[in-house]
Structure 1
Amino acid sequence: MTTADPAFLPGLELSRILYEEAVRPLLDDACPGLRHAAARVGTGSEVLGFDTPRSADHEWGPQLQLFLAPDEAARYGALLRRLLAERLPKDVRGWPTHFRRHDDPLDPVGQMELTDGPVDHRVTVQDVGGWLTRETGADPSAAEPTVLDWLAMPQQKLAEVTGGAVFHDGLGTLTAARRRLAWYPDQVWRYLLACQWQRISQQEAFVGRCAEVGDDLGSAVVAGQLVRDLMRLCLLLERRYAPYGKWLGSAFGRLDVAGGLLPSLRRALAATEYPERERGLCEAYETVAALQNGTGLAAPVDPACRSYHSRPFQVLHAERFARVLAATVTDPELRGRPLTGGVDQWADSTDFLNLTEPVRAATRALG
């Protein structure tokens, strides 16, 4: 694309237009009556609603997923891909449907480009169950996810599968699966909240201890980790899946609590001296503690900060909240399970989180 790029449209709107004005008419002509679902889900900033004109420089543009029944995906997949390559319009609202492939392994992303020949499009053909299993390790189109399924699914993956938009669902299975994955079952939610409070308890005293020995950089780093954990905790409390780092702040900013909490979090991050850093964190702790108490999920806990045992550091003692929440967990597969949580509460390597089977095996071992 060039400086004369067409007017920006949100990616989901562009995908809807691609389906309604181009893909659906081709399907009706070539395969009349073929039952299918059409959606823009999975990876991509537009799926989470965070795309901007900057997004158009890689793997963004007119694209969508077509889902067929498993036998029909095998029967029609290659035919439809070829048909779309030959007959799709060259552009949608001025945005090319052809994506130039890169041979450079350091820059493998696809970028839109006009072409005179067949288009190398971004319309995939697959079956719902197979796609869900590849994305999450489970197939919620066939059955309710198990406890292991929930703990082994990163929140980023859950956000990708349940986000975006479904333009048509003649199968019904995609919509049903998205409904099942829309949020955690109550018992899993309580367990994950307990685990998130436990994470905070493990580090809250280190902000002061690092500062006490003259390690202000270390103190600031720990404070940053605690701010991140508080943000993810707030997303859990407001029943929103936490995206990965690039979009965590954007997702947090949409929460009801964000307006009141942001000044405290910024104070903790911007502080150049420990006392101010501690004040910001304590304000944030007490705000989130009150939010937790307000859910009524567990017995209320005094939200005031206090000394860390005999040491002169002000902390929340977040383990108090972890304990009362864990006491409400009655599911036999979760009750008594170590407070390690879901996979992205104890691991944050993107490469690892994308390895479905190793993630499931590691999650199973932690139980």
Structure 2
Amino acid sequence: MNEIVHISRAFFEEVVQSILETELPEVAQVAACGVFGYGSECFGMDDEVSRDHHFGLRIDVLLPDEVHRSASSTVIETVGTQLPSSFRGYDLREGHVAGAGLAPESLEAFLTRTIGLTRGPETNVEWLKMPEEDIVHVTNGEVWYDPSGTFTGIRDTLSYYPDPVWLRRISHWCRYLSGMGVYALNRALIRKNYQYASITFARSIKWAIEIAFMLNRQYFPYDKWLDAYFRRLPTLADQMVPLVDEAVQLDSSWQRKLEILETLSDILDARMVEMGIIAAHPPFVGNETSGYRLLEHAYADIVQNLPDDVRNVVPQWDQVYLEEFHTEYVNGIMIEDWDRLLNLTPV
């Protein structure tokens, strides 16, 4: 984890924790504190580029909804009035803490905008309705303080998918990569539809990488962090990274891009056979107009062996809960303040 997280933890343990426990012990007993959720620093990916907004010392605090509604303003006032002006060179009047020392939020609201629930999932269907790239906003970062264990328990529950959910997601991503990727790209190139070819090629690379995460039993992150974490995968990265790097080069021909997607399909298929996810099968060849739809064979093999409660549930693949929250947030802010957050300067 990067420097700002280490210093934020020291700030909490040396300054804020004692204030909470002394002045607001009942709140402290139900609080979960750390750095987690949204932002590059929660993934250890903070750099100079990401520091142009919302950067600084950070203490995320989750409280039960009723406690948050009744006590959050008291928490901010009590802690804020006892803070030094800076801590280890960081101004405490800027960034996430913005004079308050911490950023309290309702636990239920945080979970709703990430996984769409107010608790951990209890059924396979609930698991399948959660966007994968938002599960990691619950499980990422660090939790330093959680006396009740509530948030830590939810993070533990979300450590990874139950097998039926895992297999259902793999199957559908195989469908995406093969049917909406390799097949679609092949036909786009036959028709010289390079706009659609560009769209489906980019999506196919993303889907191939995301399947690699699934086969490593690791959640994939939001798109902008996908490449960095992809390169760290224990398996498949060594085979796939050189191919992906070649495929995305502008001077790689369209035919070569298609060939690479077919090779990636072979690599992923072989790994699924090796893991026992699908049965061993003879080699296949595609045809001129349909291309090489290998992973749709895997899709059918997995789907036909899934339990009834997950087979017909299409996995969630977009950040719908975050976007619902974001729409409400933007609707409630002055547009001039929004422009400042966007670093837009009128001229």
The TM tier, using the shorter chain, reads 0.7 to 0.9
1:226-237 equivalence runs, <5 A:
226-237=204-215
Distance 1:184 1:298 in 2: 18
1:179 matched to 2:156? The reply is yes
**2:138 matched to which residue of 1?**
161
Deviation, 1:167, is 0.3
The size of the alignment, in residue pairs, is 321
**2:228 matched to which residue of 1?**
250
8 Å contact kept, 1:238–1:255: yes
2:183 to 205, 227, 230: 205
Identity %: 22
1:28 to 21, 25, 48: 21
8 Å contact kept, 2:84–2:92: yes
Shift in CA distance, 208/297, structure 1 to aligned 2, threshold 3 Å? closer
The gaps in structure 2 that reach 5 residues or longer are: 328-347
1:131 matched to 2:110? The reply is yes
Distance 1:196 1:284 in 2: 13
Shift in CA distance, 342/14, structure 1 to aligned 2, threshold 3 Å? farther
Determine which structure has the larger helix proportion and give its number: 2
1:1-367 equivalence runs, <5 A:
9-32=2-25, 34-35=28-29, 36-99=31-94, 119-121=98-100, 123-140=102-119, 144-203=121-180, 204-216=182-194, 218-256=196-234, 257-270=236-249, 272-302=252-282, 304=283, 306-308=285-287, 311=288, 314-330=291-307, 332-335=308-311, 337=312, 341-344=314-317, 347=318, 353-355=322-324
Distance 1:222 1:319 in 2: 16
180-189 or 88-97: bigger deviation: 88-97
8 Å contact kept, 1:207–1:223: yes
What RMSD, in angstroms, separates the aligned Cα atoms of the two structures?
2.7
Post-superposition CA distance 1:193-232 (Å, at most 9, x none): 1100011121312323222333455434432221111011
Shift in CA distance, 275/111, structure 1 to aligned 2, threshold 3 Å? same
Determine which structure has the larger strand proportion and give its number: 1
AA partner of residue 222 (structure 2)? Y
Distance 2:133 2:83 in 1: 31
Give the TM-score normalised by the residue count of structure 1.
Answer: 0.78
Distance 1:355 1:49 in 2: 26
8 Å contact kept, 1:159–1:241: yes
Shift in CA distance, 300/92, structure 1 to aligned 2, threshold 3 Å? farther
Shift in CA distance, 268/315, structure 1 to aligned 2, threshold 3 Å? farther
**1:3 matched to which residue of 2?**
none
The gaps in structure 1 that reach 5 residues or longer are: 1-7, 100-109, 113-118, 359-367
Moved over 6 A (4+): none
Give the TM-score normalised by the residue count of structure 2.
Answer: 0.82
AA partner of residue 329 (structure 1)? L
